[in-house]
Amino acid sequence: MNESIQPKSAGPTHANPGSPRTSTGHTNDRALLAAIARQAMVDRGLEPEFPAAAQAELAAFTRTAAAPGNLRDLRDRPWVSIDNDDSRDLDQLTVAESLDGRRTRILVAVADVDERVRRGSALDGHAARNTTSVYTPARIFPMLPEALSTDLTSLNEDQDRVAVVVDMVFGSDGVLVGSDLYRAQVRNRGKLAYKSVAAWLDGVGPAPRRLAETPTLGENLRIQDVLAQQLVERRHHLGALSLETIEPKAVFQGDALVHLDLDPKNRAKQLIEEFMIAANGVTATYLASKKFPSLRRVLKSPERWSRIVELASGFGEKLPDQPDAAALEAFLSRRRGADPEGFPDLSLSVVKLVGRGEYVLDPPGCAAPGHFGLAVKNYTHSTAPNRRFPDLITQRLLKAAMVGAPLPYSIPELGELAKHCTAREDDATKVERQVRKSAAALLLSSRIGESFDAIITGASSKGTWVRTFLPAVEGRLAAGFVGLDVGDRVRVKLIQTDVQRGFIDFQRE
């Protein structure tokens, strides 16, 4: 159970009397939630603002930088980026090439952030402290200044950029048959968004503008999609968990919070996810082949496997007594087919019981644990260096390995960084969760006394937690929780909210 202890809230709280107001006199929800987020950052020991030294470094940057030597020129390829509709920090591009023997070549270009953010700089120091961008409903706290992460180190549309390229060749059966890594110049030919690309791939929406203007981009994306679907099927056959959790996103009209929008998985997200998993695996293997250490991303076997077994038995299914990813995935696949509407709720229960991933040091010659949820053995984080510090560390290791340079970090340093990045990620996740709950509390603050259908998402000595179905919000079950466990469905009544602390309290009916 991942929730921290939350004391009982004192009673309904909408907004402080001194909350910012819009010109119409209504509470400025965006400013209120941004202030809550900033304080949550401070409370967790994260830096919400960039220190003066980092800002001074940023001011000294020139608009353009000379391209390093010994780069391949891949700017003529039909590269595209696919990300959230509002994303501006573009970390990766993809492109495909059909080869003989029904093989497919996939190139993933990762922004060369290290070229601008040097180790030991003030900007690097801030990134190393927070280790991640923090995404909250009303404000994003980027790991790197926006002048870098959304511009100079972002793989922006129609801009020449330097990237680290992961070059992969897959056989007709989706098996990786060859790979390489190198640096190159690239150019993004189309900044695309998940929703519109997914609608186009599924045949329920028009081609996004860039695809309509340049048909070769669409043709290339079709090749990528065919391979991605092969990779999905292959990984799930090996035991990758096909989880589908609901992640509500706050929607504003001006500065007013109006509702929570569900952001489900789709085909375009799946495409990018598969290629990033493959690229991260190739990166880990490459570093090992050069006898370099790496920061592996691992998810160990779930400690609460017995409860997962119990959940499955409630559906008339039997799982092995010991953790078995393939058996769990087969069960999940059957449940998705039998009850697609209820599958996100089952997924959430499994996610809570499986637990969270962590970073561990993998020294040369050792074998780090694999990733239980992804069904991969060799896995690191390398494809989001604008947003995650472990990826920037990996990029520096890669660049050193490519040219035979000394290790940029000592083995003890990497061991400490793995622990630090895991702890900081946990802090950032708690900030994001707290502010999401504050947004939910704000929306529900006028609905005290109403009843909702819900599912238990956490149960331990620290407390019992539920998520309501409509709207999809999570809160504490303050009364009537005896005998309940993760995955149980209940009917609950909203008894109080506290916007500042992000508390939502229910009681069982």
The reported pLDDT for the residue numbered 65 is: 64
* Residues linked to residue 83 through DSSP beta bridges, in sequence order: 193
Alpha helices (runs of H) in 105-248, residue ranges in sequence order: 122-130, 146-147, 194-201, 209-213, 215-238
Q: Provide the pLDDT confidence category of residue 460 given band limits of 50, 70 and 90.
A: confident
Percentage with pLDDT > 90 across the chain: 73
Instruction: Check whether 397 has a pLDDT greater than 60.
Output: yes
Which helix (H) or strand (E) covers residue 136, if one does? none
Mean pLDDT throughout 301-309? Answer: 88
DSSP 89: -
Residue 458 φ then ψ, to 5° = -160, 140
If one counts every other C-beta atom within 10 angstroms of the C-beta of residue 71, the result is 16
* Residues linked to residue 376 through DSSP beta bridges, in sequence order: 371
Architecture of the domain made up of 1-43+445-509: Beta Barrel (2.40)
Tens of pLDDT, residues 184-221: 999 999 999 999 999 999 999 999 999 999 999 999 99
The reported pLDDT for the residue numbered 25 is: 40
Which helix (H) or strand (E) covers residue 53, if one does? helix 52-59
Whether 227 and 233 have beta carbons less than 8 Å apart is answered as no
Whether 507 and 492 have beta carbons less than 8 Å apart is answered as yes
Tens of pLDDT, residues 100-126: 999 999 999 999 999 999 999 999 999
Mean pLDDT throughout 244-256? Answer: 86
Q: Provide the pLDDT confidence category of residue 151 given band limits of 50, 70 and 90.
A: very high
**How is the chain split into domains, by residue range?**
1-43+445-509, 50-299+356-409
Helices and strands of the chain, counted as H and E runs = 13, 18
Residue of higher predicted confidence among 343 and 93: 93
Residue of higher predicted confidence among 3 and 421: 421
User: Which of 317, 67, 55 shows the shortest CA–CA distance to 186?
Assistant: 67
The reported pLDDT for the residue numbered 7 is: 29
Tens of pLDDT, residues 354-392: 888 899 999 987 777 778 878 788 899 999 999 999 999
Instruction: Check whether 414 has a pLDDT greater than 80.
Output: yes
Instruction: Check whether 16 has a pLDDT greater than 60.
Output: no
Tell me the whole-structure pTM to 2 decimals.
Answer: 0.88
Alpha helices (runs of H) in 239-382, residue ranges in sequence order: 267-289, 305-313, 325-338, 343-354
Q: Provide the pLDDT confidence category of residue 409 given band limits of 50, 70 and 90.
A: very high
The reported pLDDT for the residue numbered 484 is: 92
For CA atoms 286, 288, 294, 296, the dihedral sign is: positive
Instruction: Check whether 6 has a pLDDT greater than 90.
Output: no
The reported pLDDT for the residue numbered 67 is: 63
Q: Provide the pLDDT confidence category of residue 69 given band limits of 50, 70 and 90.
A: confident
Q: What is the spatial distance between Cα 174 and Cα 57, in angstroms, rounded to a whole number?
A: 45
User: Which of 185, 221, 222, 192 shows the shortest CA–CA distance to 76?
Assistant: 185
Instruction: Check whether 152 has a pLDDT greater than 70.
Output: yes
Mean pLDDT throughout 88-109? Answer: 97
